């Protein structure tokens, strides 16, 4: 298959349900009468916010949901989607602010629906989740206290998942999954999406350093199940105002378990650091606060700390390169796909300009300052 044909095939993998089709799925598969439906932004799946009507004599329950329609590629692996859904249920029952999964008419947690796309019939796995209130972290001012909370949340989540059991858990060993941090070197085949400029030079340097310094150390890291995408749009917050104009934000929701896979503890904190840098007014200072929260639950080993800088750089590269690649496939979704790129390239360049030692010193000194307690 030519690269052009390959791009066309991948573009066709993203769902393209109309609002009417989304309503029909909710009504036929989950038994709810839809009163309102609204498209939500998404990467390569399709999401709708759905409001349902309940009969006057019906028992109380949620009236707002999110319909998640998986792309055709993901829908070929329903076992993986099933495990991801059960993880969300497990974490919800453990007290984490994750969505509840709505059962289908048949009592399942997913359903496979087929739609006629004109030239062919496509099958998609669909799920209905309760809608979580709150604002994405990307929309609020993020200070040290919230960064610490997010770091602690990331560690607590991974620690809790040590107890998760499922007969199909092996599905999370996604060896060639492009978003697993161990697979940063696989970005080489997507570099054509970048122009011949300084950005590409930095990415190539990161890939080489990653292969030389991180890959040989993987066997020394502690393995776990990672959420894998604790970004500034997948963490929701709500505010409490102890004094007028002095809002204090707390995590109220965790979204999107589609990037889950087996990884390492240090991967989760690196991913959280990178995404919390995106909208920060002090991006280089973010890492120490997130690290302090994470290490209040899971202290990193010297080998894990030694890889942190390159892991954060590696996640920047994954996000920026894959966004450029995806924009070639889905130019109509460029605004959403390029969210990270708006500041991401600048932050990655700044990390390299400061140098590894200076960035690490800043992060580790900040984390060390929490030894006497969390600042108020």
Mean pLDDT, each 10-residue run in order, the chain (376 residues): 38 80 95 94 89 70 91 92 94 96 93 82 93 94 95 98 97 96 97 92 97 98 98 93 68 95 98 95 96 98 98 97 86 71 92 96 97 71
* pLDDT at res. 43: 77
> Contact at 8 Å (CB) between 262 and 172?
yes
According to DSSP, the residues that pair with 34 across neighbouring strands are: 52
User: In sequence order, which residues have a C-beta less than 8 Å from that of residue 194 and are 6 or more positions away?
Assistant: 200, 203, 321, 324
- For residue 192, give both structure tokens: 């054509």
Given 44, 45, 158, 229, the catalytic residue: 229
Closest listed residue to residue 291, CA positions, set 149, 162, 184, 160: 149
Domain extent listing, the chain: 14-130, 135-372
- 229 counts as catalytic: yes
d(CA 58, CA 275): 42
* pLDDT at res. 250: 94
**How many residues in the chain?**
376
Closest listed residue to residue 347, CA positions, set 306, 322, 315, 307: 315
* pLDDT at res. 327: 83
Sort residue 5 into left (φ over 0), alpha (ψ -120 to 50) or beta: alpha
> Contact at 8 Å (CB) between 287 and 167?
no
Superfamily of domain 135-372: Aminoglycoside phosphotransferase (APH), C-terminal lobe (3.90.1200.10)
* pLDDT at res. 372: 79
* pLDDT at res. 62: 81
Given CATH 3.40.250.10, say whether it is the number of domain 14-130: no
């Amino acid at each position: 298959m030519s690269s052009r044909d390959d791009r066309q095939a991948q573009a066709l993998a993203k769902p393209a349900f109309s609002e009417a089709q989304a309503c029909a799925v909710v009504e036929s598969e989950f038994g709810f009468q839809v009163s309102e439906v609204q498209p939500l932004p998404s990467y390569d799946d399709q999401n709708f916010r759905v409001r349902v009507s309940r009969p006057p004599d019906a028992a109380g329950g949620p009236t707002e949901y999110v319909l998640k329609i998986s792309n055709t590629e993901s829908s070929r692996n329903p076992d993986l989607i099933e495990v991801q859904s059960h993880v969300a249920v497990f974490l919800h029952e453990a007290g984490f602010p994750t969505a509840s999964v709505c059962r289908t008419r048949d009592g399942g947690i997913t359903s496979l629906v087929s739609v006629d796309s004109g030239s062919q019939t496509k099958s998609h796995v669909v799920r209905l989740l309760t809608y979580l209130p709150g604002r994405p972290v990307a929309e609020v001012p993020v200070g040290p206290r919230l960064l610490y909370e997010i770091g602690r949340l990331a560690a607590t989540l991974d620690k809790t998942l040590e107890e998760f059991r499922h007969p199909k858990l092996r599905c999370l060993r996604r060896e060639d999954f492009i978003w697993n941090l161990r697979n940063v070197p696989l970005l080489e085949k997507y570099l054509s999406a970048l122009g011949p400029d300084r950005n590409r030079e930095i990415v190539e340097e990161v890939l080489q350093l990653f292969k030389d310094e991180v890959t040989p150390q993987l066997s020394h890291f502690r393995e776990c199940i990672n959420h894998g995408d604790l970004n500034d749009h997948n963490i929701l917050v709500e505010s409490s105002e102890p004094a007028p104009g002095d809002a204090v934000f707390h995590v109220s929701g965790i979204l999107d378990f589609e990037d889950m896979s087996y990884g390492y503890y240090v991967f989760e904190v690196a991913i959280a650091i990178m995404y919390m840098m995106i909208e920060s007014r002090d991006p280089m200072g973010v890492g120490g606060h997130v690290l302090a929260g994470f290490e209040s639950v899971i202290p990193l080993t010297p080998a894990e700390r030694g890889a942190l800088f390159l892991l954060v750089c590696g996640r920047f590269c994954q996000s920026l390169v894959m966004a450029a690649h995806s924009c070639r496939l889905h130019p109509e979704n460029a605004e959403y796909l390029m969210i990270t790129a708006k500041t991401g390239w600048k932050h990655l360049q700044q990390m390299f300009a400061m140098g590894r030692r200076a960035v690490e010193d800043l992060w580790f000194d900040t984390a060390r300052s929490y030894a006497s307690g969390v600042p108020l």
